[in-house]
């Protein structure tokens, strides 16, 4: 069975991307008799990001597509999403993984890749999700709300923000005296497991789902 080409979208440090790269290099995405393997075909960022140097160090093609600030917010999201759709198609991607990607995807890409875009979010969705809830803000809100546990969620991306069907969650305790930083660190460790497990689950789901369009990196 052909490998599934994966496009990973990033905005920041890229530790989740690194977990995916390490999983691929470690043979975790090799595939089985009845399901395809996976290969990170390209990495795309919406801003200059440390994640891109991780991809380059691994020999993976990178793209930077920044939002056009001259456009209004809705058009800006659609226009960026359409450019990303073009790159996804050009790289033959069958699976798109948002690994700390902070722009919101909208419009054609959601239809074209329905059920094949996943996102990792650093809270137990549906709690502490939605527009404006990312990174440090999430952890601060969790602590301020007095939550006893938090964690991360991997979900399918739909037309909403952080609303699609959940693939998996991993939980951590919120400890007395936690700062957003200490909580984020504990959750990050779980994210790296969650994102690779979820990628593997998606490869199994994609098994037999149409022909892989194998362009891009071989």
- What residues act catalytically? 121
| Rg from Cα positions in the chain | 17
- Does 54 contact ligand GAR by CB under 6 A? no
Q: Which is nearer to ligand GAR, 90 or 135 (CB)?
A: 135
Backbone angles phi, psi at 165, to 5 degrees: -55, 135
Rounded-to-integer distance, Cα 88 and Cα 205, Å: 19
Q: Which is nearer to ligand GAR, 124 or 212 (CB)?
A: 124
- Does 99 contact ligand GAR by CB under 6 A? yes
Q: Which of 5, 6, 9, 12 binds ligand GAR (CB under 6 A)?
A: 12
Minimal distance, residue 156 CB to ligand GAR, in Å: 14
Rounded-to-integer distance, Cα 10 and Cα 6, Å: 13
- Does 150 contact ligand GAR by CB under 6 A? no
Q: Which of 6, 7, 9, 15 binds ligand GAR (CB under 6 A)?
A: 15
Q: Which of 65, 106, 178, 191 binds ligand GAR (CB under 6 A)?
A: 191
Task: Give which of 182, 101, 169 is closest to 143, Cα–Cα.
Answer: 182
Footprint on residues 59-98 left by ligand GAR (CB under 6 A): none
Contact call for residues 191 and 16 (beta carbons, < 8 A): yes
Contact call for residues 91 and 218 (beta carbons, < 8 A): no
Helix extents (H) in 60-175? 73-90, 108-112, 135-144
Backbone angles phi, psi at 6, to 5 degrees: -115, 130
Minimal distance, residue 12 CB to ligand GAR, in Å: 4
- Does 118 contact ligand GAR by CB under 6 A? no
Q: Which is nearer to ligand GAR, 196 or 212 (CB)?
A: 196
Rounded-to-integer distance, Cα 202 and Cα 199, Å: 5
- Does 14 contact ligand GAR by CB under 6 A? yes
Tokens of 132: 């404006």
- Does 36 contact ligand GAR by CB under 6 A? no
Interacting residues toward ligand GAR by CB under 6 A: 12-16, 51, 99-100, 120-122, 134-135, 152, 188, 191
């Amino acid at each position: 069975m052909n490998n599934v080409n994966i496009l990973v979208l990033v905005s920041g440090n890229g530790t989740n991307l690194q977990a995916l790269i390490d999983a691929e290099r470690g043979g975790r995405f090799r595939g089985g008799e009845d399901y395809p393997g996976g290969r990170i075909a390209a990495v795309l960022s919406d801003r200059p990001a440390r994640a891109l140097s991780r991809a380059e160090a691994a020999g993976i093609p990178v793209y930077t597509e920044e939002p056009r600030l001259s456009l209004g917010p809705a058009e800006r999201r659609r226009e960026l999403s359409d450019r990303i759709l073009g790159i996804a198609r050009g790289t033959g991607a069958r699976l798109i993984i948002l690994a700390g990607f902070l722009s919101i995807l909208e419009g054609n890409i959601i239809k074209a890749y329905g059920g094949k875009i996943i996102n990792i979010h650093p809270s137990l969705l549906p709690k502490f999700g939605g527009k404006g809830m990312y990174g440090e803000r999430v952890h601060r809100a969790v602590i301020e709300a007095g939550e006893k546990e938090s964690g991360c969620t991997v979900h399918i991306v739909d037309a909403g923000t952080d609303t699609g069907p959940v693939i998996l969650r991993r939980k951590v305790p919120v400890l007395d005296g936690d700062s957003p930083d200490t909580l984020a660190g504990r959750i990050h460790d779980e994210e790296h497991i969650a994102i690779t497990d979820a990628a593997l689950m998606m490869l199994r789901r994609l098994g037999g789902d149409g022909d892989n369009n194998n362009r891009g990196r071989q």
